[in-house]
Amino acid sequence: MTTTAATVAETLVTPDAKPTRSPARRRLGRTLIFVAMAIMAVIMLYPFAVMILISFKTNAQYLIGSGTSTQTWQQINSTLPIWQELWNSTVVCSLSILIILVIGVMAGFSFAKLQFRGGNVVFLAIVSAMMVPLQAILIPEFVNIAKTGLTNNYLGAVVVYAALGTPFSIFLFTTYFRRIPDELIEAGIVDGLGYWGVLWRLAMPMALPAIATVTVLQFIQIWDDLLVGLLFLQNPSERTITVGLAALAAGHTTSIPLLMAGSLVSALPAMIVYLVFQRFLVRGLTMGIDR
Amino acid sequence: MSLTASLSASTNARRNPRTSLLTKRRRRVGVLLILPALALVGLLIAYPIGQAVYYSFTNWDGLTTQWIGPSTWVQAFHNPTMWTALKNNAELLLSVPFALGIPLLVAVMLHQRVAGWKIFRSIYFLPTAISWVVIGLVAEHFFAYSGTLNSLLSDIGFSGAHTNMLGQENQALIALGITFVFSMIGTNTMLFLTGLATLDPSLEEAARIDGAGAWRIFRHITLPHLSRFIQLAFVMTVISAFSALFSLIFVMTGGGPGYSTTTMEFLVYQTGFNQSMFGTAALYGIILFVITAIVGIVQLRLIGAKD
């Protein structure tokens, strides 16, 4: 129906030299785009549909492919240490992000506002550490941290996450603090705040959007990470939820519905943070481009 | 004239000691404030790079070291497994055009702002928040013998085409590549959409009035405008292909069947933690480091050339 309308409109319009698009053809185009986007939406929602649908089956129902049950959800607490793992993830995330923020704000302020000799070289060196993949240094890193005994508690993973997240945070805060006028800093110094006071009482509050960006990006990154947690949290009781999930998946006896329920639980916090703070995420991703 | 000059000179002279005192203090604070960052990055990122190089010349199981010279390197380059891993990495790079092209298309469609585009945008970005461990678990279900892919195939009449992609040496890597592309869609779409938002709409409007078709507008206005964003997405995607697939591989294939989905990053893990050959694993890490460094430097050059 729409197609015919469009063809008619097209033949009517053709005599015109300029291909000004007729409303009918335009509508057709937009309908096609809508359909394409809807199909894309189905694809992108697929993981969530799978997790929800399969988690409402027993393992037997999953294997035969029909039936629903809430049994998996009722038993999830007794079959998976879900609360413990959520707590572990929260602790590891919070401690790492705190270190990343404090160190990043301090260094960013210094690089942006307290020009000292060699500052630019050090800045470049630290920022280029962003490009070093963990796997490249994984082996010595693991041996070093294991020797200190930190792999037996949260701190092993926390320091590694902090080291991996700090370069980006420094880059972001430096870019951000460069926008603060020098006069403001000087005024703070003249008022007797000292550099320490200017940093925490003047500059830091102005950097709240950057703090939000770093927090959101790092939260999702650390919450979702497997490799660091897998190696640097040696006690199963300190595993994050993502590591717990992967370990469960590796043991082949596990029921798939249980894995899907666990996946959904693990995904929810990051999804909520993500939906609420979407705009900070976008800003962080494109920080390097629009200066 | 000379009066002003001498006046300002004398003020300068009077002010100088004070200024330099302040400058000194500022610099001292500046150095103090970066020390924690320097310690953290130095000890946990820079130092291990040096260690990795050193250990690659030793016979090392994590406890005892024994200098054996470059023989580990010779062995590594004669080890077919390493070449398989590099080949797998190279083949995975074939997915990069898709990981950029699909998001580009999606972003351009979103940019048309048809009804409901904001909801679609949120839906497309949502998988970005979930762990690749979770995506891997779902993908395992998708590609499984009794999974979604096969039921889709039989729905459209290809029931004979039943496959078990993850279980076959020649198909597992393709399944991994598809999952990787899916995982990159959200981030790259977000990047391109941000780029499109900075495009002046009157430019497109002017071109349209001049009679340019949709393709020409895209080719000559939209695409050049996005070039920086495409570059950034390209580098991020390539680096991810080399260093972010661990979770997917760990969950979906464990590197198998055989070594058909073992990439360099996974080989580091396997060699170190399954075979306890720390020296060789450290060496593989260095090779991975060199590859990503080259990608990074090329990117810097590209940006430098544009500026």
Answer with the residue of higher pLDDT: B184 or B60.
B184
Tell me the chain A residues in contact with residue B125 when contact means C-beta distances shorter than 8 Å: 274, 278
- How far does chain B reach from its first CA to its final CA, in angstroms? 42
Beta carbons within 8 Å of B225's beta carbon, 6+ residues apart: B195, B198, B199
B124 contacts A44? CB cut-off 8 A? yes
Domain spans, chain A: 2-55, 81-285
Could you tell me which residues are beta bridge partners of residue B66? B59
Q: What angle do CA A54, B252, B105 make, to 5 degrees?
A: 85
Q: Residue holding tokens 């320490």?
A: A196
pLDDT averaged over every residue in chain B: 84
Alpha carbons A95 and A159: distance in angstroms, whole number? 9
Residues B28 and B177 in one domain: no
Distance from CA of B170 to the nearest CA of A (A): 23
Of B66, B279, B290, B101, nearest in space to B189 by CA: B101
Question: Does B3 map to a domain?
Answer: no
**Can you give the residue range of the structural domain that contains B39?**
16-44
Distance from CA of A18 to the nearest CA of B (A): 6
Give B30-47 pLDDT, tens digit per residue.
Answer: 888 899 999 999 999 999
Assess whether pLDDT exceeds 60 at residue B168: yes
The answer to whether A226 contacts B125, with C-beta atoms less than 8 Å apart, is no
Q: Cα(A120)–Cα(A105) distance, rounded to whole angstroms? A: 17
Q: How many CA atoms lie within 13 A of A47 on its CB side?
A: 28
pLDDT value, residue B8: 44
**What average pLDDT does the structure give for chain A?**
84
**How large is the average pLDDT for residues B147-155?**
78
Higher pLDDT, B150 or A216: A216
Q: What are phi and psi of B60, to 5 degrees?
A: -140, 125
Asked if residue B301 has pLDDT above 50, the reply is yes
Residues sharing a CB contact under 8 Å with residue B95, sequence separation 6 or more, in sequence order: B177, B178, B180, B181, B241
- Asked if the structure places residue B5 within a domain, the reply is no
By the 8 A CB rule, do A176 and A287 touch? no
Secondary structure (H, E, C), A225-266: CCHHHHHHCCCHHHCCHHHHHHHHHHCCCCCHHHHHHHHHHH
Q: Name the residue among A65, A122, A282 with its Cβ closest to that of B38.
A: A122
Q: What is the pLDDT of residue A13?
A: 42
Whether A109 contacts chain B with CB within 8 A = yes
| A window 225-254, beta carbon within 8 A of B | 225-227, 230-231, 242, 245-246, 249-250
Q: What is the pLDDT of residue A76?
A: 83
Q: For residue B139, what pLDDT is reported?
A: 92
- Provide the pLDDT for residue B17: 54
**Cβ-Cβ contacts under 8 Å for A182 (sequence gap 6 or more):** A113
pLDDT at A44: 94
The pLDDT-based confidence of B263 (bands split at 50, 70, 90) is: very high
Whether residues B219 and B118 share a domain: the answer is yes
CB proximity A74 to B under 8 Å? no
How many domains, in total, are found in chain B? 2
CA distances from A152 to A95, A149, A228 (A): 16, 6, 13
Regarding whether B284 and B186 lie in a shared domain, the answer is: yes
A100/B152: higher pLDDT:
A100
ipTM given for this complex: 0.84
Q: Are residues B123 and B199 in the same domain?
A: yes
CATH number of B236's domain: 1.10.3720.10
Nearest C-alpha in A relative to B280 = A139
Residues B176 and B27 in one domain: no
Structure confidence at residue A100 (pLDDT): 96
What is residue A23's predicted lDDT score, i.e. its pLDDT? 78
Q: Read off the pLDDT band of A65 (50, 70, 90).
A: confident
CB atoms within 10 A of CB B256: 15
Assess whether pLDDT exceeds 60 at residue A185: yes
Residue B151 vs residue A216, higher pLDDT: A216
In this structure, the answer to whether residues B40 and B77 fall within a common structural domain is: no
Interface contact B138-A47, CB threshold 8 A: yes
Neighbours of A248 (CB within 10 A): 19
**B264, part of any domain:** yes
User: What percent of chain B has a predicted confidence (pLDDT) above 90?
Assistant: 32
Q: Considering the domain A81-285 in this protein, what is its CATH number?
A: 1.10.3720.10
Q: Which residue among A128, A142, A286 sits closest to B194, beta carbon to beta carbon?
A: A286
Q: A168 to chain B nearest CA, in Å?
A: 11
pTM, to two decimals: 0.85
Residue B56 lies in a domain: no
Subunit contact B242:A246, Cβ cutoff 8 A: no
Looking at B93-171, list the stretches that DSSP marks H as alpha helix, in order from N- to C-terminal side. Answer: 96-111, 117-125, 132-143, 148-155
Task: For residue B107, give how far its alpha carbon lies from the nearest alpha carbon of chain A (Å).
Answer: 10
Q: What is the pLDDT at residue A253?
A: 65
Q: Which of A7-11, A42-46, A213-217, B94-98 has the lowest mean pLDDT?
A: A7-11
Same-domain pairing of B104 and B213:
yes
Instruction: Look at residue B11 in the predicted model and tell me its pLDDT.
Output: 46
DSSP A132: -
What's the pLDDT at B307? 46
Whether residues B35 and B80 share a domain: the answer is no
Element spanning B59, H or E = strand B58-60
Query: Is the pLDDT at B10 greater than 50, yes or no?
Result: no
Nearest by CB to B123, which of A41, A133, A136?
Answer: A41
CA–CA–CA angle A175, A181, A182 (5° rounding): 105
What is the band of B6 on the pLDDT scale with cuts at 50, 70, 90? very low
The CA dihedral of A118, A119, A121, A127, to the nearest 10 degrees, is 160
B271 residue type, one letter: T
